[in-house]
Amino acid sequence: MKYTRLKKRIKKNEGFSLIPYKDQLGNFTIGYGHLIKKKEKFYFVKKFDKAYFNKLFNEDFKSAETECRNTLNKNIFYNSKTKELLIEMTFQMGIKNVCGFKKMLEHIRNKQKYLAALEMTKSLWYKQTPKRVEKLIKHYLEPWQIRMKI
């Protein structure tokens, strides 16, 4: 799958910066939400163009998709909206943190979408990025076209 719409949505949600900035947790980030690792200090001294960050985004996306598939999708079939939800969560917070959503993941496996959404709203992730989580919940819960007050 190419995930064209998902990539576009993640880019919009992440925003873009040519220079390093601190995210909500105080971690240095650049481009489309690329977490700067200790070995990547060159981002603080060297300039890169947007084309470079588009390529970096695609690498980060592929990594999130692969981690999600290898960790969460073993022997489980998820529909496309669920896959997109889990990939975007993995892109934003990493697979280790997504795996910490044990109740949410159990509700997803049991096809209990509303309970999964409720678990998302009870998280620190929701407190840090409420608008993004609400958008993801609404996208994930379609086609029921819910109108939720969170």
Active site residues per annotation: 14, 23
Judge residue 86's burial from the number of C-beta atoms within 10 Å of its C-beta, 0-12 exposed, 13-18 middle, 19 or more buried: buried
List, in sequence order, every residue forming a beta bridge with 22; answer none if it has no partner. 28
Q: Are 124 and 97 in contact (CB under 8 A)?
A: no
Instruction: Find, among 97, 79, 102, 85, the residue nearest to 138 by Cα.
Output: 85
The structure tokens listed for 99 are 């795996």
Total residues found in the chain within this entry: 150
